[in-house]
């Protein structure tokens, strides 16, 4: 059995884990810890050193532990403070975790788009639906590239109950034509808005609040910079969940889980 490794987290905390824990989510740069291919520096005591704060790195360790112990196919959401969420996503990108794995952790299409992932990659590799990509704010051209002739009307019809009172100008600025929108059932109001939920509402929950960040990938600070009409809230409290159950077998070819692996207790420096 492989020997446990000690990881020095930013010089603030020391955690001891078995290398197998770092491989439960498949191949990544992190999974090379404890092997000859690990390239990051060691500290003066010979411990693996990662230059992240414990508040960013420890949620990854805890998430891997939950993934290890979860049922096959079960989605496991990362538990990370809102103020550290963007740093956590960037760290996962630096460790080369694939987007489908980040989706398993509850990271939304909008958040992944901010990391530079294209609509086609998020659709084909991570399994996001075209409806989710529309709601995440992708341009119409990127959406059309994923669809066959005639499918856009159905997609826009499916998302219409969720877009609230986004204005026609906002949707057209993303490249959707008025004929496409009206064919999907949008109706222009005298105010210039498209018919949807009442202004400022989306079935009861804030559209861009933390409760729906996993779908839209925008935080409260981001929503405050948007025009008021682009941040509708909800009508009744339950947002329609678009995510399909995540297939763990699709993580990577080397995505085996080791339920018997048990990291040792954390040790403070």
- pLDDT averaged over the chain? 75
Q: What is the pLDDT of residue 77?
A: 97
CATH 3.30.710.10 fits 1-97, yes or no: yes
Band (pLDDT 50/70/90 cuts) for residue 166 is: low
Q: What is the pLDDT of residue 190?
A: 52
Band (pLDDT 50/70/90 cuts) for residue 233 is: very low
Over the Cα atoms of the chain, what is R_g?
Answer: 21
The domain locations on the chain are: 1-97, 126-243
Q: What is the pLDDT of residue 189?
A: 65
What does DSSP assign to residue 187?
-
Rounded CA-CA distance 252/269 in Å is 35
Task: Locate 193 and state its tokens.
Answer: 């808005």
Q: What is the pLDDT of residue 186?
A: 82
Rounded CA-CA distance 143/155 in Å is 10
Q: Report which of residues 72 and 83 the model is more confident about.
A: 83
Residue 193 predicted with pLDDT over 70:
no
Other Cβ atoms less than 10 A from the Cβ of 190: the count is 5
């Amino acid at each position: 059995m492989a020997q446990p490794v000690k990881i020095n987290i930013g010089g603030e905390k020391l955690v001891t884990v078995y290398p197998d824990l770092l491989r439960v989510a498949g191949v990544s740069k992190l999974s090379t810890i404890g092997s000859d291919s690990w390239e990051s520096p060691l500290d003066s005591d010979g411990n693996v050193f990662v230059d992240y704060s414990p508040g960013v790195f420890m949620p990854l360790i805890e998430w891997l532990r939950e993934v290890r112990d979860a049922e096959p196919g079960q989605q496991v959401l990362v538990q990370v403070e809102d103020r550290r969420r963007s740093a956590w996503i960037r760290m996962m990108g630096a460790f080369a975790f694939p987007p489908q794995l980040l989706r398993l952790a509850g990271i939304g299409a909008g958040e992944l788009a901010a990391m530079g992932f294209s609509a086609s990659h998020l659709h084909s590799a991570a399994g996001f639906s075209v409806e989710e990509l529309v709601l995440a704010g992708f341009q119409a051209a990127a959406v059309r590239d994923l669809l066959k002739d005639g499918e856009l009307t159905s997609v826009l019809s499916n998302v219409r109950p969720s877009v609230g009172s986004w204005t026609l100008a906002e949707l057209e600025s993303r490249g959707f034509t008025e004929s496409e929108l009206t064919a999907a059932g949008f109706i222009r109001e005298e105010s210039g808005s498209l018919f949807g939920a009442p202004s400022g509402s989306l079935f009861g929950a804030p559209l861009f609040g933390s409760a729906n960040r996993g779908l839209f990938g925008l935080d409260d600070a981001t929503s405050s910079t948007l025009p008021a009409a682009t941040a509708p809230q909800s009508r009744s409290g339950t947002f329609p969940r678009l995510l399909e159950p995540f297939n763990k077998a699709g993580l990577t070819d080397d995505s085996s889980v080791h339920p018997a692996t048990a990291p040792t207790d954390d040790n403070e420096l």
